[in-house]
Amino acid sequence: MHDEPQPGPARERKLSAAGDRPWWKSPSLMVNWKALIRLSVTLSVLLLAFCFSPYVPRDLRSNGEVADCRQAPSLIPIHNQELWGKANELIDGENFKLEAVKSLQMAVRIRTESFDNMEEIGEDTRWLIFKDFRSYLEDRFPFVHSSLDLTPVNTHGLFYQWKGSDSKLKPILLAAHQDVVPVDNSTLESWTYPPFEGHYDGERIWGRGSSDDKSQLISILSAIELLLEQGFRPTRTVLLAFGFDEEASGFHGAQHLAEHIKSVYGHDGIAMIVDEGAGFYNLGGAMLAIPGVTEKGMYNVRIEVGGPGGHSSMPPKHTTIGILAEILTKLEEQPFPSRITADHPVSALAQCLIPNVKVVPSVLQPILRIPAFLLKFQLARDVVGWWFRDVSLLRSLVPTTQSIDMTRGGVKYNALPETAWAVINHRVSVTSSLSAVQERYEDILKPLARKHGMPFEAFGERIADGSSPYYLIVSNATAHGVDPAPFSPTRPEDAPFQLLSGTIKATYSVHRHLKNVDEVVVAPGMMPGNTDTRYYWDLSRHIFRYNHHYGGTKPDPSANGIHTVNEFIAADVLVESIRFFTTLILNADENEL
């Protein structure tokens, strides 16, 4: 028999304190006031929508869909319908899938890693592997290399021209990159299969580059090889641009490719560009394709704190590392504001997502059918931002982000470091700018500099003076920053986006043998990272970042190992990607752009 524990003095004091609380502060009634405010605002906006919905102008609706999310119809080739049908029959075959898998396996086995510190071509032997990769492509795709004009750009950049019969038509450009993220040897034991083995387990192809981005490159070449085998000759010129250092910012590859293409086709000489990007996902029961119509900027900032060194047995009140830690903590405590403005792509994405998410209670569906009306108000856009806050990718799409990626200070355990520094990577919001990031550093760090009496210099300008022996310098960590990309037009009258949307729908439906061709919804999205298209802005106003890959129920690129261990792609996804590019080329050939 065990006696019940008796409350001791500490327990009695706790109970007494609880009993002295007002009833509204009782632990059982404690309220998350922020959550309550969010709930109240949400209900108010929904009530506003419910009350005013009968008075919404008719031009905001289109067959039950909001005007800003009007969907393009499924688009299939008409003049080349017979050829397209035959191509689809071949793509459906088991032998075609196995050959596609083999093409990607062999590509993965060629270790085309690109590193941040690579020297010029001809000086750094690590570039030579791309010569092997080009030789492999020439052997694997004989029709492509006997029918298309290939121009090496800066040695390893590959620029193909598939000349069309009508030179008056602007060409389309399909892009991908040959290089892959390096594999850290310390992670090798974490890989299920060796990263450059290209292992196929009957369902997935494993290895570095299998998804990012050799699958796109192999899909493009496989589609063209297939069309050439069927005797297709294009009316509209098709261009291919394959960079070789996208993972290291594209200075040697895409930058030179862009200059060459512009010299041949001129400013805005390309009808549309499709490069790597997001795919399609099952979000809340709705199948949603999200081609990126813009991408965030990128900015690396270096923070350095300097001061006197000395013996660690006689430390000052503050050290360089201590002050740097305080600075970094202050920055993380004040993240960039997250607001969905009217012109932000996430606003357009919400208009497509909200009325199609099947997990929304049916009683709210009539209200959520009119987000175009609601999203005219910043308050409603803030509510949408709250809804998205728990989805990591969506949350990262809106504000400028900050990631402290590198820190260094000190060389010995008993010596005070004279300098300590950190590098912070920013992905700059598409509604912000590099100058706005600089201003934020000045605003947040100026009070800290004054607190410690430190001279403070930011981006080449003296911000504050001080008499302290310590100093603070904020500067560019790299030679280049990238501003956010221009927005590609997505209105119903903008033919390139409609062609892309219709091709996505047709590919999705045909691959699954569906009768309902509108099962997938296409919504404009954005890339939180940067692609080779950062150099292609002058070539076309219509740039889309899209892989026709099924990404499951979470729009998380790392889910299939991109930039980490165990990268893979499903064989069925690879085959569907080939079908997509086959359909896209044929659709672009017979539609106005």
Note whether residue 68 is domain-resident: no
- Give the Cα separation of 347 and 378 in Å (integer): 10
Query: Active site includes 116?
Result: no
Tell me which amino acid residue 177 is: H
Co-location of 272 and 154 in the same domain: yes
Percentage of the chain modeled with pLDDT above 90: 70
- Average pLDDT over the chain reads 86
Co-location of 572 and 533 in the same domain: yes
Nearest to 563 by CA among 179, 110, 255, 251: 179
Residue 545, both tokens: 């970042």
The domain boundary residue, chosen from 394, 410, 432 = 394
pLDDT band of 347, cuts 50, 70, 90: confident
Co-location of 171 and 192 in the same domain: yes
Co-location of 235 and 184 in the same domain: yes
pLDDT band of 266, cuts 50, 70, 90: very high
Nearest to 154 by CA among 109, 180, 118, 106: 118
Count structural domains, the chain. 3
- Give the Cα separation of 111 and 578 in Å (integer): 23
Question: How many other CB atoms sit within 10 Å of the CB of residue 566?
Answer: 16
Note whether residue 263 is domain-resident: yes
260 CB burial (10 A radius; 0-12, 13-18, 19+): middle
* pLDDT reported for residue 351: 74
* pLDDT reported for residue 480: 83
Q: Do residues 225 and 141 lie in contact, with contact meaning Cβ atoms separated by under 8 Å?
A: yes
First to last CA, the chain: 86
310 CB burial (10 A radius; 0-12, 13-18, 19+): middle
Co-location of 383 and 405 in the same domain: no
* Distance set, CA 283 to CA 359, 458, 462 (Å): 9, 43, 49
What confidence tens digit (pLDDT) does each residue in 402-444 have?
999 999 999 999 999 999 999 999 999 998 999 999 999 999 9
H-state helical runs in 434-560: 434-452, 495-512
Q: Mapping DSSP to helix (H, G, I), strand (E, B) and coil, where does residue 492 land? A: coil
Question: How many other CB atoms sit within 10 Å of the CB of residue 55?
Answer: 7
The size of the chain, in residues, is 593
Residue 98 sits in a domain whose CATH number is 3.40.630.10
* pLDDT reported for residue 563: 87
Q: Which member of 68, 113, 213, 246 is catalytic? A: 246
Q: Do residues 566 and 534 lie in contact, with contact meaning Cβ atoms separated by under 8 Å?
A: no
* CA angle centred on 209, ends 211 and 528, rounded to 5°: 60
Note whether residue 277 is domain-resident: yes
Distance between alpha carbon 267 and the CA centroid of its chain, in Å? 26
Lowest mean pLDDT among 158-167, 476-485, 538-547: 476-485
Note whether residue 92 is domain-resident: yes
* pLDDT reported for residue 73: 93
Note whether residue 324 is domain-resident: no
Which residues define the annotated binding site? 177, 212, 247, 275, 563
Indicate the pTM of the whole model: 0.84
Note whether residue 573 is domain-resident: yes
The DSSP symbol for 67 reads: G
Sign of CA dihedral 123, 128, 129, 134: positive
Residue 563, both tokens: 């930039």
Q: Do residues 424 and 301 lie in contact, with contact meaning Cβ atoms separated by under 8 Å?
A: yes
Co-location of 582 and 446 in the same domain: no
Greater confidence, 385 or 517? 517
What confidence tens digit (pLDDT) does each residue in 192-214 have?
999 999 999 999 999 999 999 99
- DSSP-derived secondary structure for 90-111: HHHSHHHHHHHHHHHHHHHTS-
What confidence tens digit (pLDDT) does each residue in 208-246 have?
999 999 999 999 999 999 999 999 999 999 999 999 999
Q: Which member of 68, 179, 276, 576 is catalytic? A: 179
Residue with tokens 């504050």: 464
* pLDDT score of 21 more than 80: no
Co-location of 163 and 255 in the same domain: yes
For residue 360, what are the contacts with CB-CB under 8 A and spacing of at least 6? 284, 354, 368
Beta bridge partners, 404, equal: 424
Co-location of 155 and 283 in the same domain: yes
Strands 456-458, 419-428: pairing kind = unpaired
pLDDT band of 389, cuts 50, 70, 90: low
Instruction: Compute the average pLDDT of residues 123-149.
Output: 98
Which residues define the annotated binding site for Zn(2+)? 177, 212, 247, 275, 563
Domain that holds residue 209: 81-115+123-290+491-589
Residue 220, both tokens: 């493009």
Residue 394, both tokens: 């969506």
Q: Do residues 287 and 521 lie in contact, with contact meaning Cβ atoms separated by under 8 Å?
A: yes
Q: Do residues 530 and 482 lie in contact, with contact meaning Cβ atoms separated by under 8 Å?
A: yes
- Give the Cα separation of 99 and 140 in Å (integer): 10
- Dihedral, 120, 295, 258, 243 alpha carbons, nearest 10: 50
Co-location of 500 and 477 in the same domain: no
For residue 167, what are the contacts with CB-CB under 8 A and spacing of at least 6? 237
Beta bridge partners, 282, equal: 287
- Give the Cα separation of 557 and 212 in Å (integer): 10
- Dihedral, 15, 16, 19, 20 alpha carbons, nearest 10: -150
- Give the Cα separation of 25 and 450 in Å (integer): 40
Q: Mapping DSSP to helix (H, G, I), strand (E, B) and coil, where does residue 136 land? A: helix
- Give the Cα separation of 508 and 387 in Å (integer): 28
Note whether residue 249 is domain-resident: yes
What confidence tens digit (pLDDT) does each residue in 23-75 have?
444 444 444 555 556 556 555 655 554 444 433 333 323 333 334 678 999 99
* pLDDT reported for residue 557: 60
* Distance set, CA 461 to CA 28, 457, 481 (Å): 54, 6, 18
Note whether residue 203 is domain-resident: yes
For residue 65, what are the contacts with CB-CB under 8 A and spacing of at least 6? 71, 355, 369
Tell me which amino acid residue 357 is: V
Nearest to 108 by CA among 217, 193, 195: 195
Co-location of 94 and 199 in the same domain: yes
Q: Do residues 455 and 465 lie in contact, with contact meaning Cβ atoms separated by under 8 Å?
A: yes
Query: Active site includes 203?
Result: no
Tell me which amino acid residue 84 is: W
The domain boundary residue, chosen from 463, 484, 505 = 484
Co-location of 267 and 180 in the same domain: yes
Beta bridge partners, 310, equal: 416
Note if the bond before 213 is cis, omega within 30 degrees: yes
Co-location of 475 and 363 in the same domain: no
In SS3 terms, 311-322 reads as ECCCCCCCCHHH
Radius of gyration of the chain (CA): 28
Strand (E) or helix (H) holding 463: strand 461-464
Half-sphere exposure at residue 283, Cβ-oriented, CA atoms within 13 angstroms = 26
